[in-house]
């Protein structure tokens, strides 16, 4: 049974980084299966900043055919009118467009999306993205659809999957807030771990929720930002 918001044990570092805004300006690598849009939602939840700056989203041709283009009506309202989409021909062009975008400090974030394990996506390529993100202060999110966690220069690496949504607070038969199952399996600035988190679009906040099958916990728990 799902509850609204609870406190779960987190590494101390996670309390000040993973649930904070703005996102850390480095390369975040997100792995996810082809089905579902959990990974895109998680990336967007981490990209809104206090600056009125656009997001650059780059996809190669294969990814567009496989997963489709970003659906603007599903974006948080603040992001719908500050969005730049680039359709690249191949992974090489995707990486080039991402790196060039990271050099533009007026962007709030750069998101790149690829399918599988293209040969051009090696340690050197990911290292260049991480260095550019950190040098110019623009967070980068590399979405890997059906990819494998090979050698990478990314500072944080995640597995992201969908989980059943919370029950709607006004109608228990309707879906409520979306929930993601998150695994941080590699990081240089915080301890790896696993969490289930619900996204509150109105407040732009990630709240920890109980694992599937857990009993209801006390209300009034602390909410992480």
Tens-place pLDDT, residues 133-156 = 999 999 999 999 999 999 999 999
Nearest CA to 155 out of 46, 28, 57 is that of: 28
Range of the domain at 28: 18-164
Residue 9 confidence (pLDDT) above 50: no
User: What percent of the chain is predicted at pLDDT more than 90?
Assistant: 41
pLDDT for the residue 75? 75
- Give me the number of domains the chain comprises: 1
pLDDT for the residue 211? 64
- Ordered alpha helix ranges (H), the chain: 12-17, 38-45, 61-67, 91-102, 123-136
Q: Is residue 29 exposed (0-12), middle (13-18) or buried (19+ Cβ within 10 Å)?
A: buried
Confirm whether 82 is domain-assigned: yes
Confirm whether 97 is domain-assigned: yes
Confirm whether 193 is domain-assigned: no
- Residue 212 banded pLDDT, cuts 50, 70, 90: low
Confirm whether 57 is domain-assigned: yes
Q: Supply the pTM of this predicted model.
A: 0.80
pLDDT for the residue 207? 80
Beta bridge partners of 174: none
Q: Which residues contact 167 (CB under 8 A, 6 or more apart)?
A: 2, 174, 175, 176
User: Residue 111: which CATH number?
Assistant: 3.40.50.300
């Amino acid at each position: 049974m799902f509850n609204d918001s609870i406190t779960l044990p987190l590494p101390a570092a996670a309390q000040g980084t993973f649930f904070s805004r703005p996102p850390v300006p480095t390369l975040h690598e997100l792995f996810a299966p082809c089905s579902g849009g959990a990974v895109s939602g998680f990336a967007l939840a981490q990209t809104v900043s206090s600056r009125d700056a656009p997001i650059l989203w780059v996809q190669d041709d294969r990814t567009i055919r496989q997963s489709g283009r970003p659906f603007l009506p599903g974006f948080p309202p603040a992001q719908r009118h500050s969005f730049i989409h680039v359709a690249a021909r191949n992974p090489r062009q995707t990486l080039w467009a991402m790196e060039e975008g990271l050099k533009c400090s007026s962007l709030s974030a750069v998101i790149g999306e690829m399918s599988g394990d293209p040969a051009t996506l090696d340690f050197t390529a990911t290292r260049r993205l991480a260095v550019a993100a950190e040098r110019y202060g623009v967070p980068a999110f590399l979405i890997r659809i059906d990819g494998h966690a090979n050698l990478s220069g990314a500072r944080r690496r995640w597995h992201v999957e969908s989980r059943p949504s919370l029950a709607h607070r006004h109608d228990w038969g309707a879906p409520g807030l979306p929930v993601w199952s998150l695994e941080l399996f590699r990081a240089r600035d915080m301890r790896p771990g696993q969490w289930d988190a619900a996204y509150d679009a109105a407040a732009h906040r990630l709240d920890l929720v109980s694992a599937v099958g857990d009993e209801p916990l006390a209300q009034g728990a602390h909410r992480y930002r």
